[in-house]
Structure 1
Amino acid sequence: MRDDVVEASSTVGHPPDAVWQIIGSPELYPRFLPAISWCEVTEAAVRGRGPRCLVRLAPNRETLVEGTIHAVVYRPGEHVVWCGLPDERNWVSFELRALAGGATEIVLRLMLPSLPPEHYDLLSRSAVRGMLKELTERIALQLSGEAAEPPEYDRATALRTANTLVRAGVLKSGRPDKVAKQLSSLSQWGATIAGGYLAATARGADDIAVHDERNSRTFRDIDERSNQLAHALAKLEVEPGRRVALMCRNHAAMVEAFVGCSKLGVDVVLLNTGLSASAVEDVLAEHRPAAVLADDEFAQTIAGVQGDFPRVSTWDDAEQGYRTVDELIQDAPVSRPKPAKRPGQIVVLTSGTTGTPKGARRPTPKGLSTAASILARIPLRARDKIAVAAPLFHSWGLAALQVGMSVRAELSLIRRFDAEQTLRMIAEHRCDALFAVPIMLQRIHELPERVRSRYDLSSLRIVASSGSAMSGAFVTSFMDTFGDILYNFYGSTEVSWASIADPVDLRAAPTTAGRCPPGTRISILDDERRPVPPGDEGQIFVGNDMLFDGYTNGSSVPRAKDMMATGDVGYQDAAGRLFVTGRADEMIVSGGENVFPRPVEEALVALPGVYEAAVVGVPDEEFGQRLAAYVVLRRGARMHAEDVRHYIHQKLARFAVPRDVYFVPELPRNATGKILKRMLNDDLWPLPQA
């Protein structure tokens, strides 16, 4: 046990009142102290009493200490003393002393007798002096409005890529003829969908590649059927360089269509299955496909679109459907086409949460290094069994397909998501991983324990999520229920990926978007495209080898040198973790203050009785804009608007309190579960309750 007080001091060239803006704001500590990963104010400071906080210390990836602290001394501009609860023998003191010339001496004292012996090195005098020195430097840069020197980013060297691929089992010794065929396929076809599946076929043609609720397909099956499909489409005058539109749910025929179009060298336009008939018509009119392949349930939608392009059924379940893929390829040769001069591209539609979806041209991956970047953070292995619930037309479902083909995975495709059916599939097929969007994980988590316990999920070691934000409360609860197997992937259709949070990151800081994988870098920039000071928020820009090639309508997104904007605003903490505050176009100015909805949403879903919430900006005659909250209550919960406003006022600044509170039965979502905020101001929504 350590009972001695450790003390260190440092000087910053700014007055105490300015330094107090950070020292007196515990919620900012993770942005300035790498050892503090999370600090949530649970009770705000009031006259005569300091705040109370939940704090997590994560000085390294092996150590995580969580506890409650409160300020027993809280003299603004002068002194704060934090004590642990219930053991007040643990305490940390920051004292600010005014110096000549407007400078401040920061005196740090701490005593942590309850710290386990294995962590004593964290409290050595040299370690404490180093911690205070880094804190002082970051405070000085922040108050001076200067950016820190950018850290050296994690480069994807050839050696590192090879090590990752060997560890995942993508590259390993085998029969020389099979290895040669695998490498030859990648050399001829590149890292396209066709190249990936042909390489997998070369290593294990009779291995199961895909199964859905009707069919199982080996890699050989997919190779031969996609060859036939490519020949059949060519007979329909679908030529290399043209476009084929797919409107399909997850099933084997969609994978075959991906591979066949890739072999033919045509671009694939992925239609969101949740699009309205008018939206489908607009997208097809813009992209002018040479053929449309669609499930029968969308036949009527496709039938209403002008054009003489051929229509093919990919999932036969209607009497009046179009001719099926099986009928189309029945007499087609199984010989493999020659690689096209120009690889076909994949066009993914943006989510359309704030407007009309746009077609984004995805680049062809730069060899196996692209897969290695993801495998370095999400530990998939060769021949893993992956349940894919995320739609294949969505960037995350497409990522599952592309990474899956790299590790020669057996994909279990979930055509229509159902929470219990998904668990049944995982249990029956002994799946190692699940790729899903957050709303799916929420539905799985909501299943009663008696239902979840029916299924043996012991094989599941990875749950990979992307597509929208997850609340910190949900992240922690999900891992408490299913284990530390959750991975949060942050990216966009335009930049592919930016960061990945693994279970260690999410335990340390549940709302984090994680850290960059090798070969990716992030910059937080202001409106003039300059790096922001430490701890500040700004626009998130990403640089990697998979930035998109622009929208099909000729437009693009803002760039800064070789980096591209995600459209989000966020910050990085002192340990380098990324946090996304919200969409840049969602920021409002209320009474002169910049306000983002996401922190309010995060606070609302932590309120007992609240199931989910969305917050948007609305016009206000007095303040310019104000926040309006749309709240879905849990079954049996009762709440008034004033309860919500009072709760947020205790958690956040005054200007973040929503003036309007609507209690609604559900929130409008698209097919991938993203909330459609543009619909929240519709006149059909109820009036706010008093």
Structure 2
Amino acid sequence: MALTECPLRKIALVSPDSTVMQVNKRTVSALQLDAWVEDYRLQLMPQLSTGDRLLVILQDKLETVVVILACLRSGVIYCPVNPVFPESRILDYAHKIGASVYISDTGFKAESIVPVARPALAARTVAVNSMIDVDSKAILDLIPTSGTTGVPKAVAHSLDNHLFSARGSASIIELTQGDGWLLSLPLFHVGGFSIVIRCLVAGACLLIDRQGLPLSRLLKTMSVTHVSLVNTQLQQILQGDDSIDLAETRLKTILLGGGVASAPLVRAVQEKNIQILTTYGMTEMSSQVCTGVPLFTREGVTSGEVLPYRKVKIASDGEILVAGEPLCPGYYLSSEDSTSGNTGSVMPVVDAEGWFHTGDLGEWVGQQVRVLGRKDNMLISGGENIHPEEIEQALLACEGVALAVVVAVTDKKFGQRPLAFVEMVNGTVNESFTKGCLAGKIARFKIPDRIIPLPKELPPEFPGQKLFTGIKPNRRLLQKLANRQVS
């Protein structure tokens, strides 16, 4: 057992009146948040035991943050799922991780797992006078990978994994007391979870919206100095119906990740004298691996330098290999997966030399990494290798393109050909104009045969499925739709 101080209790002891959270217009002190967490823990624990997997199906981010910290203090394992997933998929995941209890604010009901009573957030505060130590190497959470098919893998993290991730992030992102980081990513995703830990480590304010306000309005009305975004969110802020002038906000830093970054959007932010950092990360590495001021290349932008406590190697076949302190202990095993027949075991994710094989392809550009795409996304057309992500980055450089997803469709002559789904700022796709925009940016044989609108709704043949899995488009589902288009 490796004991370390609970980061929230540490702040509550040293600076009890400091603001650690803002919920729309309401500020929350370290002492108040500590009281909520402690009351929640005391009401939760009679229903649970140390090591229990608590399935968390919550939409309320404030309550979810309290649950995370109550789990940290109690030894219960935080196991979030996307609340919009179909009930059958949630139950399959619950079975995979051996969860027998759940907490929900969505009306979710299941016979095979038992709901726990949701504690109320206490209005009172009490003085704190002692530190709380927690086991920093015990499993704190099981966060599902953003798999687009089947039951996601459950990635096990310890508090140490998240702390080292936050410390490495702090080497390039200045975050101090008085700064506010908007919780713009979901807490069932490692990107959202990491924001909570970064703020606690730095003593910064965690900003939460409970009113469902547009992102652009939150940036104008709340004291947001830091925000994590994916490309689509940034596009909406800069060019969408609710676009704003970033120079009129308090923003200091934008962390742009979650996939392909648009070079024109990066330049647009830089012109406002706001720091924009691109990042490459994954669930298995507790969020960030590389982060930095991007370099511009002919193909797009890089994803930053390797952060402290991480190691990166490019294998001979171009695959990115990673290691370091933020790397998870492994995947949590169900009884069906485990050779011992017991849940609760963790399967390491590293090879014999300690490297995790990411499945991503990349290259070095100076000291920075440029991600080329997923190995399993690559298509072969007439003997030529094509990375969909390269085409997506070129499409994002075309005027008016807000989102692009390129998939492979079967072709009798070439074997496979690329097809692009795009979402435009103005809602209208001009296929010939967009193809012309790609000319000169990528090789002719990489230009998609078809460029079509991203569907707003799925056909009835796909009941219960979603176009997005968390913050990423469901590429496998779109590939099925694409092959229907050309069949």
Q: TM-score range by the shorter chain?
A: 0.7 to 0.9
Partner Cα separation in structure 1 for residue 129 and residue 96 of structure 2: 34
Name which one, 1 or 2, has greater alpha-carbon Rg.
1
* Alpha-carbon contact 1:521-1:543 (below 8 Å) kept: yes
* Alpha-carbon contact 2:310-2:326 (below 8 Å) kept: no
* Alpha-carbon contact 2:299-2:441 (below 8 Å) kept: no
- Cα 1:510–1:461 shift into 2, 3 Å: farther
Q: Structure 1 stretch 336-345 or stretch 658-667: which is displaced more? A: 336-345
Partner Cα separation in structure 2 for residue 326 and residue 683 of structure 1: 45
Partner Cα separation in structure 2 for residue 270 and residue 373 of structure 1: 25
Which of 332, 351, 359 does residue 567 from structure 1 map onto? 359
Counterpart of 1:544 in structure 2 is: 324
Counterpart of 1:8 in structure 2 is: none
> TM-score, normalised to structure 2's length?
0.84
Name the amino acid aligned to 2:4.
G
* Alpha-carbon contact 2:163-2:197 (below 8 Å) kept: no
1:559 shift after superposition:
3.2
Deviation string, structure 1 residues 452-478 (Cα, Å, up to 9, x no partner): 259941x32112233222121222223
Counterpart of 1:132 in structure 2 is: none
- Cα 1:644–1:211 shift into 2, 3 Å: closer
Partner Cα separation in structure 1 for residue 148 and residue 375 of structure 2: 14
Name the amino acid aligned to 1:198.
R
1:446 shift after superposition:
2.2
1:620 shift after superposition:
2.4
The secondary structure found in structure 1 opposite 2:17 is: coil
* Alpha-carbon contact 2:54-2:100 (below 8 Å) kept: yes
1:616 shift after superposition:
0.9
- Cα 1:369–1:601 shift into 2, 3 Å: closer
1:545 shift after superposition:
0.6
Counterpart of 1:390 in structure 2 is: 185
- Cα 1:509–1:658 shift into 2, 3 Å: closer
Counterpart of 1:357 in structure 2 is: 152
Whether 1:598 and 2:401 are equivalent positions in the alignment is no
> TM-score, normalised to structure 1's length?
0.61
Partner Cα separation in structure 1 for residue 67 and residue 167 of structure 2: 25
The secondary structure found in structure 1 opposite 2:10 is: helix
Which of 217, 235, 255 does residue 421 from structure 1 map onto? 217
* Alpha-carbon contact 1:289-1:309 (below 8 Å) kept: no
Partner Cα separation in structure 2 for residue 214 and residue 644 of structure 1: 43
* Alpha-carbon contact 1:632-1:666 (below 8 Å) kept: no
Whether 1:432 and 2:432 are equivalent positions in the alignment is no
Which of 194, 203, 215 does residue 408 from structure 1 map onto? 203
Counterpart of 1:230 in structure 2 is: 41
The secondary structure found in structure 2 opposite 1:540 is: strand
Which of 639, 644, 659 does residue 449 from structure 2 map onto? 659
Note the 1:20-31 alignment, pairs <5 A.
none
Counterpart of 1:291 in structure 2 is: 101
Which of 299, 306, 310 does residue 111 from structure 2 map onto? 306
1:612 shift after superposition:
2.8
Partner Cα separation in structure 1 for residue 42 and residue 31 of structure 2: 17
* Alpha-carbon contact 1:272-1:349 (below 8 Å) kept: no
Name the amino acid aligned to 2:473.
I
Unpaired runs of 5+ residues, structure 2, are 334-345, 458-465
1:606 shift after superposition:
2.2
Whether 1:463 and 2:259 are equivalent positions in the alignment is no
Deviation string, structure 1 residues 423-481 (Cα, Å, up to 9, x no partner): 2333xxx33222333332222112469x6259941x3211223322212122222333x
Name the amino acid aligned to 1:309.
V
1:556 shift after superposition:
5.7
Which of 374, 398, 403 does residue 583 from structure 1 map onto? 374
Partner Cα separation in structure 2 for residue 684 and residue 593 of structure 1: 20
Counterpart of 1:678 in structure 2 is: 476
Whether 1:484 and 2:274 are equivalent positions in the alignment is yes
State the number of aligned residues.
Answer: 463
- Cα 1:507–1:645 shift into 2, 3 Å: closer
- The percent identity for this pair of structures is 23
Counterpart of 2:7 in structure 1 is: 196
Note the 1:4-403 alignment, pairs <5 A.
189-190=3-4, 195-213=6-24, 216-236=27-47, 238-249=48-59, 251-295=61-105, 298-299=106-107, 302-303=108-109, 305-313=110-118, 324-326=119-121, 339=133, 343-353=138-148, 355-365=150-160, 370-403=165-198
Whether 1:515 and 2:305 are equivalent positions in the alignment is yes
Which of 234, 238, 241 does residue 445 from structure 1 map onto? 238
1:492 shift after superposition:
0.1
Q: Structure 1 stretch 544-553 or stretch 631-640: which is displaced more? A: 631-640
* Alpha-carbon contact 2:179-2:226 (below 8 Å) kept: yes
Name the amino acid aligned to 1:544.
G
The secondary structure found in structure 1 opposite 2:306 is: coil
Counterpart of 2:430 in structure 1 is: 639
The secondary structure found in structure 2 opposite 1:374 is: helix
Partner Cα separation in structure 1 for residue 298 and residue 253 of structure 2: 18
The secondary structure found in structure 1 opposite 2:472 is: coil
Unpaired runs of 5+ residues, structure 1, are 1-186, 314-323, 528-537
Counterpart of 1:493 in structure 2 is: 283
The secondary structure found in structure 2 opposite 1:306 is: coil
The secondary structure found in structure 1 opposite 2:426 is: coil
Partner Cα separation in structure 1 for residue 161 and residue 283 of structure 2: 17
- Cα 1:417–1:621 shift into 2, 3 Å: farther
